[in-house]
Amino acid sequence: MENQFTHISSSGNPQMVDVSAKAVTARVAKAEATVFLGKEIMSQMTGDELITKKGPVFQTAIIAGVMAAKRTHELIPFCHPLGLEDVQVAIEAKGERAIIRALAKVTGKTGVEMEALTAASVAALTIYDMCKALSHDMVIEHIQLTEKTGGKSDFHRS
């Protein structure tokens, strides 16, 4: 019987997927996370930024998201280290929520979905960390891939 798992060798050991035979293509992934903050935390908004005693929350979360994307291969087993060409994180307040959008780009043999998802996830966790002294009613409601292009197949969430 042929091995069904890409990350397990024929001898049953964990392994990284061999991408050496894959074509180099431009690859882009977008991810989104939503954090419910509530009225108490949102009352700390000053213009487009959420300010707490720890400092500017969204600006800090943007930096954390970009830094995390660059280290995805250190966090997720068997992710290939990528020479990311661009990572962008944007955060907007919408009602009682923070909407985080992350984009990752690379020209390579493997995609950047995990890098975009990691950026959005760590940005959401950073918002939580910086606001937890104000309220524990926050909820990271969802994290999802919204778009992927390049490679074998494209994906666009409607």
State the Cα–Cα distance between residues 45 and 26, nearest whole angstrom. 38
The answer to whether residue 20 scores a pLDDT higher than 70 is yes
Rounded distance between C-alpha atoms, residue 47 and residue 60, angstroms: 16
Under the banding of pLDDT at 50, 70 and 90, the label for residue 125 is very high
Per-residue pLDDT reduced to its tens digit, 76-123: 999 999 999 999 999 999 999 999 999 999 999 998 999 999 999 999
Q: 49, 45, 68, 47: which is closest to 58 by C-alpha?
A: 49
CA 51 – CA 37 distance, rounded (Å): 13
**pLDDT class for 1, splitting at 50, 70, 90?**
very low
The topology under which CATH files domain 37-147 is Alpha-Beta Plaits (3.30.70)
Active site residues: 129
State the pLDDT confidence band at 155, using cuts at 50, 70 and 90.
confident
Residue 3: per-residue pLDDT: 59
In this structure, are residues 82 and 115 in contact, taking their beta carbons and an 8 Å threshold? yes
CA 150 to CA 51: how far, in whole Å?
Answer: 38
Q: How many residues does the chain have?
A: 158
User: Is-contact 129 50, C-beta < 8 A?
Assistant: no
Q: What is the CA radius of gyration of the chain?
A: 18
Residue 104, strand partner residues: 29, 87
Query: Residue 52's pLDDT is what?
Result: 93
Q: Between 28 and 158, whose confidence is greater?
A: 28
**Per-domain boundaries in the chain:** 37-147
**pTM (predicted TM-score):** 0.91
Mean pLDDT of 59-68: 98
